[in-house]
A and B are shown apart, each in its own frame.
Chain A
Amino acid sequence: GAVVSQHPSRVICKSGTSVKIECRSLDFQATTMFWYRQFPKKSLMLMATSNEGSKATYEQGVEKDKFLINHASLTLSTLTVTSAHPEDSSFYICSASVLAGFNEQFFGPGTRLTVL
């Protein structure tokens, strides 16, 4: 099956710093990548949809200047949490899709961000 990786798997940073999370589709070219945020014991909240070579589409309530998304190629999307604060601490999950067939999204293993 299609494999999606995320890096890093876990990151701890100081308040005010920026953190970049990478999402890669390893064995396929992804037309679209999605970024989710998951709070403890909660569901996944879609943050943004990212298409290669174009600007990301952010969901209502998600600050695009806070969560910068770059989708430079069909196999790589990055999420940068700028000027991170403790309330940004969360589990961030990406997914990738080829938007064909039954629209399956392939999920990465997630990145645990802790902001001190």
Chain B
Amino acid sequence: GEDVEQSLFLSVREGDSSVINCTYTDSSSTYLYWYKQEPGAGLQLLTYIFSNMDMKQDQRLTVLLNKKDKHLSLRIADTQTGDSAIYFCAETKGSGTYKYIFGTGTRLKVLA
């Protein structure tokens, strides 16, 4: 299967940490990504992780990958109002077409 699921909404207070979760069903995924979409705009790559990694940290962003449970998470430390957006996880198998399968998206709202 190719379903990639995320919770629809997340609301946090400014300065707190945000954790956005993603579950996928295809264990053959090679790369997993996190993208950010601001209103009316395209997608911006935030970070990615290769399937043989468990964790990746990049400044305020920490990605955790649990291959056994097919679970991916994105933690944003010290969340700011500018982080309010929709966050999509995506997977790709590197099967030649390099097709992305996007998650359903999580709308993050940061309260001042």
Contact = CB atoms under 8 A, between A and B. Distances in A.
Given A43-B105, A49-B99, A93 B40 contact: no
A57 B96 CA distance: 12
Interface in A64-116: 93, 95, 97, 99, 102-110, 112
Contacts, number: 55
Nearest to B93: A103
Interface in B71-104: 88, 92, 94, 97-100, 102-104
Nearest to B97: A49
A41 B15 CA distance: 26
Of the four ranges (under 10, 10 to 19, 20 to 34, 35 or more), the interface on chain B belongs to 20 to 34
A74 to B, nearest CB: 16
Contacts of A104: 33, 45, 48
B97 A110 contact: no
Interface on chain B toward A: helix, strand, loop, or mixed SS?
A: strand
Main secondary structure of the interface of A (DSSP, over half): strand
A13 interface: no
B44 interface: yes
B55 to A, nearest CB: 16
B98 A110 contact: no
B43 interface: yes
Given A43-B103, A103-B31, A57 B97 contact: yes
Size class of the contact patch on chain A:
20 to 34
B54 to A, nearest CB: 17
A110 B44 CA distance: 12
Interface of A: 4, 6, 32, 34, 41-44, 46, 49, 57, 93, 95, 97, 99, 102-110, 112
Interface of B: 30-31, 33, 35, 40-45, 48, 50, 88, 92, 94, 97-100, 102-105, 107
